[in-house]
Amino acid sequence: MTYAPPPGYPPSYPPNYGYPAPRPSSAGKRAGIVLIIFGVLAGLMCAGLLYIARNPDAYLNAPEMQNNAEVQRMKQELEHAGFSFGTLLYVFACLVGGYAAVSLLTGIALLMSRSRAIVIWSIIFVVLILLLWGVNLLGSLLSGNIAGVVLAILYIGLHVLTLVWLIEAVRAAAAPMPATFPTPAYAPPGYAQPMPMQGYQYQPPPPPTQQKPPGQ
C-alpha cells in the first residue's frame, strides 16, 4: 500500500539539516594569517638589528643618537657592565629571530592543519607573548617612554584578538557529532531511523516447514 506525500513534499531542508555546521576554519585561518604577519615583521626587525650590530659605532654616532639621552645612558651603563652595544644588539636580534621563526611556523601550521594540538600550542605561544608584552608595557610606563607604551598596547591588542580566534577554533574542533540521522518532516507510517551499518553478515534462510496432507 502506498501513501501519497502531502503537498510540498519533499520539503526543502536548510543546509546541514540535523547536523552541526562544518567546523569553521575561518577563526583558525585568521589567527594563522596574523601570526605569519607577526613573524614577517619580526624577521625584518631581526635583519635590521643584525645590520646595525655589524657597525654599532656608526649607529651611535649618528646625530639623532647623539641627541638621544636614553641611548647614551644605555651605552654608558653597558660600558660599565663590560658589555658592548653591538653584543646587546646581537642578543636582541637572536631573541627576535627566534620569535619570528616560531610565529611563522605556528601560523603556517594553523593554515595547513586543523589539529586541536596545534591550536592549543598556538594559544600557549600567544599567551607567553602577551606576558612579555605586558612586561614591556610596564617598563615603558615606568620609564615614561610614550612610543614604547603605544607600541606595546598595539601589539597586546592584536595578540588578544588572535587569542580570541584561537579559542573559537578550539571550541569548533571539540563540537560533537550527532548520534542519529535527522528525521524528515514527513515520514510515512512505519518509518524508522536507519541503523548504522556494522558489516554484512549472511543469514541462512529458515528451514522449510513440513505440511501434513489433509485427513491426517
Q: Does residue 76 register a pLDDT over 90?
A: no
What is the reported pLDDT for 37?
A: 94
All structural domains of the chain with their residue ranges: 26-173
* Grid cell of 125 as nine digits: 605561544
pLDDT, greater one: 104 or 212? 104
Record the pTM: 0.62
pLDDT, greater one: 196 or 141? 141
What is the reported pLDDT for 80?
A: 76
105-133 residues labelled b (16+ CB within 10 A) or e (exposed): ebbebbbeebeeebbebbbebbeebeeeb
Q: Does residue 141 register a pLDDT over 70?
A: yes
Q: What angle do CA 133, 135, 136 make, to 5 degrees?
A: 60
pLDDT, greater one: 62 or 30? 30
Mean pLDDT of the chain: 75
Q: What is the mean pLDDT of residues 88-97?
A: 88
Q: What is the DSSP letter of 87?
A: H
Instruction: Give the count of beta carbons closer than 10 Å to the beta carbon of residue 180.
Output: 10
What is the reported pLDDT for 83?
A: 73
What is the reported pLDDT for 202?
A: 54
Give the pLDDT band of residue 12 (cuts 50, 70, 90).
Answer: low
